[in-house]
Structure 1
């Protein structure tokens, strides 16, 4: 009898473990079956995104949670946006106007200079000598002129004792010497100008670029490279283009005496870098692109704009007073154009076609299709279709508050399913005694 005892004990334990596992599965099914039964996949329904009339997004299904906003009025600025290129207001390549040796360079690369500041010096000795020579020639001719005038005065004083021909000849001599002196004065002026050109000064306010010629080099007036390039960046210019369709509106505003404001912003359209005014509308349209070129001038007081850079340009065309606006996310686009979902008093939605006049920031200017005070859906539109029922945040908060007392008894935590080893019952007393 003792030889059969191990086999009986092992079989009993196997049966006990199987019973415990089945009991655990039954307990889990008891707790989780209601939630699985209500799943749309097990109950024959479909996912919310493809819900039909009986689904969550349908008029006969559960209300769709949404956010709403009322159509309001406010002043809306109308901007024309474009990509602009920053250019220096003035750019000058400083060149020598005389030939000679560059004996001094008096600026630093990248230095800010004022108009009239001395930038470089050409060897002036040759030009100073020419100037002094011109003065000496003038003085010599002036002395001859003075002598000729005195002779003419004596001839005239002698009267009939001097022939008329002698007087006429002396008078012509005086006029000839007067012309010579005038030519000498012109030569002196030319020599003075040439001498002044040996001092090279800044023609404009600006910033010096790279030095193109070093001290000791021979420079010539015919050189095209120049000594340095100066760029004026305060103020600074921005060149941009707009479609030719905007030209009529721009010209109309200018004809009314308006100075159109221009904003230079970051590349993403946010963060104003500087503000200025429209300076120029080009005199012809580019036939290749159908665009018109415009130029704005900005003070650039903080030097945040730099020649050659790109900025987003916003030209303020006008301001629409008391325009109807809605949040931009509320506007959807369908096959027949833009539309919104309007909320009805019955807490359903209807599709309302609208005409969008402009988009500014996160607001859309509505030209037609809505009235002030109407309520539209701004969030949750993806699950809506005409006739869908909706629920608002205040409705959900109220419903949640009403369910709290009823849900209190169910707050008892669900006990965990027993594990198989813990469910093995103790061996019977008969087995223990054996």
Structure 2
């Protein structure tokens, strides 16, 4: 049996009405989303008061105050070397020797010359005495006596000269042995057996026992802070607990032609734990002519080609850009010469998301760790999530 069923068909007006209601609801939601402000949580740092001093730290090596560069006083070929690097020596020890054959022959020649000169003195003395006797008897003129006296004086002078030549030749033989004048440690060997060296050529270097010092190289920007008598601290890589009070003993008057740094020598107190060649750090302090403040590198941003930071207005809860002048970069961040002052708060991270007058959410008092620190660095606050 067929039963008729009524079918409902929406009219065009109803469809239009539904569409209008949907669009109105969507517009309201979009407008509501646009009216909702974006508040971004940030990590901030508070600028601490800048310190008027800064630390200077330079590394160097321990060396003896006096290094003897020993060389022969005569020319010759080295035939013997008796010491090695690290060996201790004392005064009078023979360190090396050169061939002395020619100098020994010179001694024999000088001895023969002296003997001949002594014979000449004897002959001249006999001639002078004979002339004196003849003059006393009025047999010979006075001029003959005077001539005999002059011959005797000349013979004596020749003998004295021969004596000096013999002494010099003997000295030359003695100089064939290179001896140490002071106690110390051999630190370098510059010539070896078989090498022909000239007089004065360094053959061995001996570090003299006694006071030790650290030699450091200081750039020209900081050399003005080092002067004779300045107190410094010396620390050693081999022992972190070893810290000695040092004193600047010498400051070079000119810079090295290659490194353009100035050599500074720091005297150390006598301590058996300090050995030659050890690496040391010399720490000193310097007065800042222009106090700097430090910020983390992450707090630095750039806007229109200029270095800026984002300052936080705590009362308004907004940020705005602040141009800064960079002094230099340090191990813990950036040193700012101008543009910031103590007590100001800057965004420490996420600067790429900052815009002018952006609303931000700051850490609460319990989570904030910003505080003034003695070296002028900014302290970071926790991120609020």
Question: TM-score, with normalisation over the residues of structure 2?
Answer: 0.59
Task: Give how far 1:296 is off.
Answer: 3.8
Find out whether 1:323 has 2:291 as its counterpart.
Answer: yes
Question: Equivalent of 1:187, from 157, 165, 169?
Answer: 165
Question: Equivalent of 1:64, from 33, 36, 41?
Answer: 41
3-state secondary structure, aligned to 1:323: coil
Instruction: Note closer, same or farther for the CA distance 1:318–1:359 as it changes in structure 2 (3 Å cut).
Output: farther
Match of 1:34 in 2: none
Task: Give how far 1:187 is off.
Answer: 1.2
Task: Give how far 1:72 is off.
Answer: 0.9
Structure with higher Rg: it is 1
Question: Equivalent of 2:362, from 391, 399, 407?
Answer: 391
* CA contact 1:118–1:201 (8 Å) conserved in 2: yes
Question: Equivalent of 2:186, from 185, 207, 219?
Answer: 207
Find out whether 1:303 has 2:276 as its counterpart.
Answer: yes
Indicate the larger mover: 228-237 or 157-166: 228-237
Instruction: Note closer, same or farther for the CA distance 1:169–1:126 as it changes in structure 2 (3 Å cut).
Output: same
Match of 1:337 in 2: 306
Residues 277-324 of structure 1: per-residue CA shift (max 9 Å, x gap): 6424248x77xxxx7354344669533458xxxx9x999794216824
Residues 108-144 of structure 1: per-residue CA shift (max 9 Å, x gap): 3443546764212346576456436534643552464
Partners in 2 of 1:87 and 1:223 — Cα distance?
26
Partners in 1 of 2:35 and 2:119 — Cα distance?
120
Match of 1:402 in 2: none
Instruction: Note closer, same or farther for the CA distance 1:324–1:189 as it changes in structure 2 (3 Å cut).
Output: same
Match of 1:105 in 2: 81
Task: Give how far 1:61 is off.
Answer: 1.2
Task: Give how far 1:107 is off.
Answer: 1.0
* CA contact 2:47–2:341 (8 Å) conserved in 1: no
Partners in 1 of 2:161 and 2:35 — Cα distance?
108
Count of aligned pairs between the two proteins:
317
**Structure 2 unmatched runs, 5+:** 1-28, 237-241, 269-273, 369-385
3-state secondary structure, aligned to 1:392: coil
Q: Which has the higher helix share?
A: 1
Instruction: Note closer, same or farther for the CA distance 1:315–1:394 as it changes in structure 2 (3 Å cut).
Output: closer
3-state secondary structure, aligned to 2:145: helix
CA RMSD of aligned residues (A): 5.3
Find out whether 1:350 has 2:324 as its counterpart.
Answer: no
Residues 205-245 of structure 1: per-residue CA shift (max 9 Å, x gap): 5535468645xx6x645699x895537596575668x6xxx
Question: Equivalent of 2:142, from 145, 164, 173?
Answer: 164
Partners in 2 of 1:258 and 1:220 — Cα distance?
42
